[in-house]
Structure formats: structure tokens, C-alpha cells
Structure 1
Amino acid sequence: MIDTREPAVLVLEDGRTFAGRAYGSRGETTGEAVFCTAMTGYQETLTDPSYHRQVVVMTAPHVGNTGWNDEDDESSRIWVSGYVVRDPALRPSSWRSQRTLEDELAAQGVVGICDIDTRALTRHLRERGAMRVGIFSGEAAGMPAAHLLEHVTAAPEMVGASLAEEVSTDTAYVVEAHGEKRFTVAALDLGIKTMTPQLMAERGIEVHVLPESSTFADLARLRELHGLDGVFYSNGPGDPAAAEHAVGVLREVLGAGIPFFGICFGNQLLGRALGFGTYKLRYGHRGINQPVMDRSTGKVEVTSHNHGFAVDAPLDRDSDTDFGTARVSHVCLNDDVVEGLELRSRTGDLTGFSVQYHPEAAAGPHDAAYLFDRFVDLLDSTKKASA
């Protein structure tokens, strides 16, 4: 088969380049280069708002074989800045496919590159760390190498980036409880995925999804109109140190004794609200095969991850905070990164918790789905105690 794809080039901020061929839309793009170890679920990855302003490198060599459908999106659009694959599928082979992955990338203007050594690129990022990158195809690919590198180094860095407001909903909306309504929860949309409120709704929770700019006064108003049993913080992109507004609201939530559950970015913001620091990981955790231990049970879960920042909290002791006693509840078995926090009152009652990974886990795994049940138990016990 004759390859008619035009040339493309990938340029890292340290000057290393990879020559390949155009994939998806033609043109140029920049972002933070990160690698994802998932072998499936690329549609959910691409539509995850947490990947905003990132160029995703797929470590799986063959990508696109299940095509694209209208049911598996985790948001209303593709959020990645660019896409890097080694061997794109010639045609999709799935009864659910409605079009090809490349057609969808092109339709949404996502610039990609294929036919490069993604293993070499991944090893480079593991050794040097996540860094800025550019993909150039079409006329852009013919520009001098020095000029392309200038484009890359002029791109904004992820450290200090406040991005949740760029991916959040503009207006509040409600996901109705399935069957009998048991609880009302306010979910702050920092880049929420479609599956998250759905899994809460399946457990009888009416979810009010609110914009990132919402205040504690908005939560109080919701409480007056509909009741409010708990607050949820979603996943999302950017540096948690830059999310001062959301951290401030969360401190008011914890101070008011409202039960709290956070996922991913929400875990980092809980950490900062409790007085812990956060830091940028060398190359982050991204994929659906990360081992995490629940320290309360000793159970090891295979989990889905997408984070480049982590909470700096002690693993060997509990910590006194303004809101009670905090402890690290989950830890990554690969590198001891904090993967969950738990907050208890002075009397020992659970008042809030969070995890760094994704228990909603589309397209899988589902080892951690029990955490939504744990949230229901927290809402139920708090409601009974206040009755």
C-alpha cells in the first residue's frame, strides 16, 4: 500500500525531534507532552477535559481499531491539544463504530502525528520528564528547525496554569436520580466527566453540576431550595496551586461540616484545603493499569489515572488540620505517590474523602467503583446523625 500521508514533525522543548506523517488535522499545535499507557479507551481519553492543553502520546502501538461512536464521549468535545500514535488503524473494526478516529480528529481540528517511534519518545519523557512539545504538518512542517523550537518554547508551561475555568460548564444543570431520590449533591465542575454524575445518579443522588466559579453562597442557596447533603469536586486540568478560588470554597464547605468527596483534581484541592502542599510529578500517571493500595483494607486495586500533580502529605502519620484529622488513605504501589485522603472529625467520624485516580473509570477498570457506595454511606450516616 502506498502511503500518501504528508510529512510531519514533532519537536520537544529540549530540541529532540521525531519525523513522522500527518494524522488527523493538518497544521501546528503545542502543549505538554505526556504519555498514556492505556491499551483501550482512547475515545474517553481524548474527550477527558483533564487533558486540556496536553499532547497525548499513546504507548500502545496500534490505535483506532474500534473507531469512534457518539455514546462514549466523556464531554462535549475532544480536549487534547495534539495526538501521537505509532500505527494508526487502516479501518475500524467494531459494530459500534460510526466513523474513524482520524475523521473525528480532523473534524475537531486536532493536529496529530503517526509513524514515529512512540517507545523511544516515551522513554525520553520518562528520563527527562514531561515537557512542552509541538506537532507540525502541512506548510508548518517545512519551517526551519530553529523556528519550530521557538514556537514550542514560547508555549505556556503547566506549572502555574489555571485551566479549570476553561473547561467548566457555563451554566448549572441537573442530572436526575435514577428511581427514588435519596440525596442531593452539588458537583463543582472543574472538568467533570460524563460518567461521574451518572454513577452517582444510579445510586439515588440528584446531582447539581455547578460552574467552577460558583461560591459558597451559591451552595447555600442550593441548600435552601433543594436541600444539600454533600459536595463533590471533579477531575480537571491545570496546577492545583493556581486554583485558589475552589480551595477557598472547599474550606468553607469543610468548615460547615458538609460531607465531601473529590476525584483527581478534587483530591489535590482537598489536600491544599487541609494545609498540604502539591507538587508536579516528573512524568505523571496516565493510563488504566495503575496499582493502588487502599490502606484501610490492604486491598490492591488496578485503577485509571490521569494526573501530573500530587499531594505532599505524610504517609507515616495522621495530620491535625483546621477541620479534623487527615490521613493518607490510598497510595500508589509504583512510587508511593499519595492516591487518596481521608478526613475525620475530632470524634473520629468520617466527614470527607478523596482519591487521586478515577473510580468512574470509563473504559475501565472498575475495581474502585465501591468509592461511590462509600460516598452514599457517608451521606446516609451524616443525614441520620443530623435527623
Structure 2
Amino acid sequence: MRKFMYTAITLLTLSVVFGAIFGFIEFRDRMVGSFVAAYIPPPVGVEADPALEEQWDTTLSAVGTVKAVNGVDITTEASGLIKEIYFASGQEVDEGDVLIQLDDEVEQANLKSFKAQYRLAKINFDRDSRLMRSNAISRTEFDKVEAQLADMKAQVERTEATISQKKIKAPFSGRLGLRQVNVGEFINSGDDIVTLQALDELLIEFSVPEYFTPKLYVGQKIRFTVTAFGQRVFEATISSINAKVDETTRNIQVQGNFLNDTGKILPGMFANVSIILEEQKSVITVPQTAISYSLYGDSVFVVSEQELNLKTPDTTLEIFGLEIDLSKIHKMEIPPERGLAVSRRYVKLGERQGNRVSIVEGVSAGELVVTAGQLKLNNGTRVEVIEQKP
């Protein structure tokens, strides 16, 4: 009898212990589950801008090069030793200013000799002219004297021309570049001395496909940007269109004139050109950073207030017939029913101007599109619009 009682007490004790253990495990699992169910991921911080309705011109894009209307690398026709340099690198000069003086002492000496011979030939010619009128000399002798006078005159003019070539002048007004020579240096004919560029008026040279030739005309407006000035837009007009299409590229070359008032745009700069084909049409535009490009198509994330499909956690637990309210044990957040969320929209893109792109289809004016933070987003992701960084 006593042995039976011991056995019963042991079994009862084990039942209570194991029941408590399994009850604790069940309680723990339910608590963990309730924590997981109650967890709501925080909204993703994104930057966003509204889509705008703007008036844009229909344009044709091209790439070109800035060139000077008057621009040249100054060289020398005559060889010689540099005697004097009269300019500094980067200096503004006027047409006719002397830039370089080559050594011309030999030519100056030759000029004196030829002038003396010319004066003697002129005296002989004048005397023989009087004698010829009185038939005191033959025609043959007079012709020799006349030819000698002409030869001496040509010698003087040729020497003066050589001396002039050794005084190198600016062919037009403009800005000089970096000096390529030094005093005492011997230079040969054709050697570069310095570049001279007239910067008050510039040319924008670019090419467009032959298909657009009928839409081009002299006086047509163009806009262009250069890398040195970021997104600043400059305006010019088409001044000339080539008379033929390039047979290799099937492009036609076009030139535009631009008044360089500031003088800061320099020849040789790369230019992004927009030719105005049609003025003022209404388009929907978004920042270019709002576009996500992929093989499946271009898309944007649109921010709007939506119903949020979030699970509501079970806050009750029943153990041994006893109902426990978990929300009283730990703080549980009840998910909101509505809030800001994003949806992906596939769009059809149009033209680009500056840092904005037109949307032909997919977005309406006034809709808020994400411009930064797209990598963290999926359809339905909760978001919080944060203030954009300046």
C-alpha cells in the first residue's frame, strides 16, 4: 500500500513538473510569436518631388565643338634668331601689334646696299633718258639701263619684304595663349610661336543626321551647355549649313554663332547642343534621378496614401484553461490602417532637358515620385518623405 502511494505521488509530481515545462514552452513560443506579429518595420526614408506640367520646346540633341571665328596658331615665314619678344602669355593684343622681332641685321645691311645701287641706277636711267631723246645713245644701251633700274628696285622691295617677315605681327585682335619660344632661340619657317584666338564671337560646330535637314534653317535658335559651366544654358543661332551631306556618316555639318560677352567660353570646349525644332508644348516632367532603368522597362516609384496590409497580432493566450492578455505583459503596437506607401509605375520617357526628363505616359502632374532611396523599395513599401539635402 505504501509503495503504491509513493508511486502515485511520484507520478503526480512528474506530471506537474512536465506540465509546467510544456506550459512554459508554449507560453514562450506564443510570446515570441506575438512579438514577431506585433513588429512593424519602420517606414523607409525617401526623397520625393512632384511631377510638374511644364512648357517645353521640341528639340534635337547633338554634340559639337566650340571654335573661334578668327583663331590661328601664329608661325613665322622666315627663319632666324629671336631678338625680342613683345608679348606675355595670355595677353590681349590688337591687330598689327608686333609680337616677335627676329634678327634682321644682315637684311638691313643688304637693304642699304641695294638702295645705293638703286639710286645709281636711277641716275643712269635719268641721264640716258635725256640722251635717248636726242638720239645720242642706242636703244639697246638704254634698255640695259632701264632693266638695271627695275632689277635694283626689285632687290630693294624683296629685302624690305624679308625684313617685314622678320617682324611678326598679330593678324587680328584677340587673346594670346601660352608662349612657345624664348629670346635667343632659333626658329625655322612654320614653327609655332603662340596661339591667337578672337573670343568676342564664337562658332558652335556640330553635325545632325540628314533626315533632319529639311527642319534646319539659318537663324534657327539653338541652346548649348559646356562642362565648365555645369547646367548653365547658352543661346546661339544657326549661321550656316553645309552645302553637302557627308558620304561616310550621312550627317550634315552645321555652324551656329554665339556672342561670347563674358569671354570665358574658350575654343575647343565640348558642347551639348539642342536645336529648337518646335517651340512651347505642354509636357509632364520629373527629375532624372526619379527614373529607374532596367531590362524590363523604365519605371518610377509613386508615393501615395494607401491601405496598409499588415497583420494584427493575436494578444490572447490560453494556458490550462486560463486566458492571458499578452498586451498587458508587454507593449504591442497595433499597425495603422492607412499611411504613405509606394507603387512601381512603368513609364514611357520623352525628351531630356537639363536634369529633368519628360514622361509621355505613366505619371500625372502633381503625383509625388521618389527621387532618392529607390534601392530599398518594393511595391507597397511604407515610406516617409524626408527633407531633401541642399
Q: Same fold (TM over 0.5)?
A: no
TM-score when normalising by structure 1: 0.17
Larger Rg: 2
- Say which structure is richer in strand: 2
Q: Which has the higher contact order (CA 8 A, sep 6+)?
A: 2
